[in-house]
């Protein structure tokens, strides 16, 4: 479908396409209209776009506009305004042309007759993979499982190409921006789902420029009264920010210069949802020092950041025990910085964040910054990164989880911050704040988890239920005879641990049911002078099972125990074998 290529394509009403040259006048008018619509997008990345990039984007927009023609948003705006806005968000983050093309086309396969096969033929495999990754599953086919299975599909697609998640996040951000056109009950539900699933993905990928806005928009729609109260409190607090931060930042600038450092010092307001999470109803009395932080961006390397920390402490009295070193030990989402709390000239406690100029883009854009630097957006560009181990863990357990369990597990796995816990060899395992020693055991592997019997935490014996803290050194004690129990489900806090425990318990239950059915058959065959053990050894049991439609004899025995298979019928078959 090459409507802006030398041979123009004209869509039929059924979504197919046939090659036909447009009249020169029509072709020129169409091209002018497309370029006018794309002008803001092209301007956003103008220095980076080649002529070929421009042609490809114009072509993608032309196809998307034609396919969505006649469709309207809830606001009454033409539907094409949505994919164009998504592409604009991604262009603002500096993403590549392929991603922008996929963004323009991301709803065509889901909402128009345009097929994935047509898209692949027209735009290539790379664009098709991205569009397919963000396309929702068919609601009629999947029913109540649609949401869970769609998220599972996105996770699997992101394992091959992380841009799938980035496009999905930009898509959700624009939908949140326009959520006011939906009825109130839908707004609240959509906002809650965003805060539980999509916002945590943005956090995990370190894309804070998206996370902050998604946070605040979802907050506004889920709890408009609390949002309004927080916004008003923030406005009052920031009105007095200059009195609190002005003298402090001036001291910092002088101290940094005195230490031979070139740095940019600024005051950054916190976003509303973060303030609400910290203060709740107490937000009415919010102080300026609680509404903003001081950001120091150093022109230098990591070592210069530590020198800057000394300069900050030389200028303003530090609070003991309030230094956090995320340079030596980055967060799970690649974030690096030094955090410290100091006392300002007026006695106010101030939060100061120190980053190098190289760290700052990663702190804002996360994985997107690494994708841009690597020149490729596939997961291979960041494979093996410790800070993306959460994605590997998610892939390790998702295939074994049922739809409902998958969504619940996903919410748990993504919720909150992660803490580093160490093995005795110094290897880092990232776990959520509520994790136990049992969660740590399963993070090391399912076999370690299944056979764990206890732990040594910082050298002291502890039960598997012991809750861990950041920086703990944990050694898991195992026993070949050890095995999970149902009580472990009350101990495990992480989805991987719970899924592995549930799978083991289900397997054990299946074995017990099979054994029960086998005992019934042994007893019944004994009356007929038939030796079941001999029948099993000669393959007769498996042959009978296969003849009855069971892949394994254990399944046949379990069916006998459950009553779905007649004992008389089975005995007759064995007696006649």
Which pLDDT score, from 0 to 100, does residue 24 have? 56
DSSP state of 137: P
- Mean pLDDT, the chain, as a whole number? 85
Confidence at 206, pLDDT banded by 50, 70, 90: confident
Question: Per the structure block, which two tokens stand in for 481?
Answer: 């005879």
Which pLDDT score, from 0 to 100, does residue 205 have? 85
Which pLDDT score, from 0 to 100, does residue 5 have? 42
Confidence at 412, pLDDT banded by 50, 70, 90: low
| C-alpha of 143 from chain center | 23
The CA-CA-CA angle for residues 156, 158, 162, to 5°, reads 170
**Exposed / middle / buried, residue 60 (Cβ in 10 Å: 0-12, 13-18, 19+):** buried
DSSP state of 136: P
DSSP state of 6: S
Which pLDDT score, from 0 to 100, does residue 276 have? 95
Give me the domains of the chain, ranges plus CATH numbers: 9-218 (1.10.3210.10), 230-368 (3.30.460.10), 418-484 (3.10.20.30), 502-576 (no CATH)
**Exposed / middle / buried, residue 320 (Cβ in 10 Å: 0-12, 13-18, 19+):** exposed
If you write DSSP's letter for every residue of 222-280 in order, what string do you get? Answer: H-HHHHHHHHHHHHHHHHTHHHHHHHHHHHHHHHHHHTT--EEEEEEEPPHHHHHHHHG
Cα dist. 533→189, 548, 573, 577 in Å? 58, 19, 15, 14
Do residues 106 and 171 make contact, with C-beta atoms less than 8 angstroms apart? Answer: yes
Which pLDDT score, from 0 to 100, does residue 395 have? 63
Q: Phi first, then psi: what are they for 449, rounded to 5°?
A: -65, -45
Do residues 283 and 233 make contact, with C-beta atoms less than 8 angstroms apart? Answer: yes
pLDDT higher than 90, residue 19: no
3-state DSSP percent of the chain in helix, strand and coil, to 5: 60, 10, 25
Which pLDDT score, from 0 to 100, does residue 507 have? 84
Its pTM stands at: 0.76
pLDDT higher than 70, residue 2: no
Quickly tell me which residue has 């802006």 as its tokens: 4
pLDDT higher than 50, residue 379: no
Coil, helix or strand for 183?
A: coil
Q: Which residues are catalytic?
A: 110-111
pLDDT higher than 90, residue 258: yes
Which pLDDT score, from 0 to 100, does residue 455 have? 94
Do residues 102 and 377 make contact, with C-beta atoms less than 8 angstroms apart? Answer: no
- Note the pLDDT tens digit of each residue in 271-285: 999 999 999 989 998
Helices (H) and strands (E) in the chain, counts: 30, 13
Cα dist. 434→170, 231, 473, 492, 577 in Å? 30, 31, 16, 9, 57
């Amino acid at each position: 479908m090459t409507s802006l290529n030398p041979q123009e394509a004209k869509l039929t009403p059924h979504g197919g396409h046939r090659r036909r040259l447009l009249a020169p006048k029509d072709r020129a008018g169409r091209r002018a209209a497309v370029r006018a619509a794309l002008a803001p997008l092209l301007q956003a990345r103008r220095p980076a776009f080649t002529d070929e990039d421009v042609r490809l984007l114009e072509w993608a927009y032309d196809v998307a506009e034609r396919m969505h023609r006649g469709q309207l948003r809830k606001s009454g705006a033409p539907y094409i305004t949505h994919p164009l806005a998504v592409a604009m968000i991604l262009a603002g983050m500096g993403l590549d042309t392929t991603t922008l093309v996929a963004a323009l086309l991301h709803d065509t396969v889901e909402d128009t007759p345009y097929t994935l096969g047509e898209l692949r033929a027209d735009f290539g495999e790379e664009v098709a993979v991205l569009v397919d990754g963000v396309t929702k599953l068919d609601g009629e086919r999947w029913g109540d499982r649609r949401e869970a299975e769609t998220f599972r599909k996105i996770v699997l697609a992101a394992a091959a190409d992380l841009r799938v998640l980035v496009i999905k996040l930009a898509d959700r951000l624009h939908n949140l921006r326009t959520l006011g056109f939906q009825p109130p009950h839908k707004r609240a539900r959509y906002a809650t789902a965003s805060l539980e699933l999509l916002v945590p993905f943005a956090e995990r990928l370190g894309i804070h420029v998206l996370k902050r806005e998604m946070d605040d928009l979802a907050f506004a729609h889920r709890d408009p009264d609390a949002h309004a109260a927080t916004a008003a409190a923030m406005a009052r607090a920031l009105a007095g920010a200059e009195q609190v931060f002005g003298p402090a930042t001036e001291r910092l600038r002088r101290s940094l210069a005195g230490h031979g450092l070139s740095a940019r010092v600024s005051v950054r307001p916190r976003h509303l949802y973060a303030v609400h999470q910290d203060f709740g109803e107490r937000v009415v009395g919010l102080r300026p020092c609680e509404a903003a932080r001081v950001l120091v961006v150093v022109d230098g390397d990591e070592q210069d950041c530590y020198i800057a920390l000394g300069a900050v402490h030389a200028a303003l009295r530090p609070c003991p025990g309030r230094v956090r070193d995320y340079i030596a030990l980055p967060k799970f989402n690649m974030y690096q910085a030094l955090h410290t709390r100091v006392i300002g000239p007026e006695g106010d406690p101030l939060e100061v964040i120190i980053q190098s100029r190289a760290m700052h883009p990663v702190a804002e854009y996360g994985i997107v910054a690494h994708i841009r630097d690597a020149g490729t957006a596939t997961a291979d560009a960041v494979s093996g990164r410790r800070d993306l181990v959460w994605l590997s863990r998610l892939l390790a357990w998702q295939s074994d989880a049922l739809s409902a369990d998958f969504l619940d597990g996903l919410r748990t796995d993504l919720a909150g911050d992660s803490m580093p816990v160490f093995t005795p060899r110094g290897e880092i395992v990232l776990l959520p704040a509520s994790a136990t020693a049992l969660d740590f055991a399963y993070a090391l592997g399912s076999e370690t988890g299944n056979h764990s019997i206890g732990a040594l935490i910082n050298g002291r014996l502890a039960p598997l239920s012991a809750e861990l803290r950041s920086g703990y050194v944990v050694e898991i004690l195992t026993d070949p005879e050890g095995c999970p129990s149902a009580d472990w489900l009350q101990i495990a806090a992480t989805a991987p641990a719970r899924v592995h425990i549930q799978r083991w318990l289900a397997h054990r239950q299946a074995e017990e049911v099979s054994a029960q059915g086998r005992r019934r058959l042994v007893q019944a065959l004994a009356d007929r002078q038939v030796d079941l053990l001999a029948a099993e050894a000669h393959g007769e049991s498996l042959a009978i099972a296969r003849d009855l439609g069971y892949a394994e004899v254990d399944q046949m025995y379990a069916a006998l125990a459950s009553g779905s298979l007649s004992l008389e019928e089975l005995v007759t078959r064995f007696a006649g074998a």
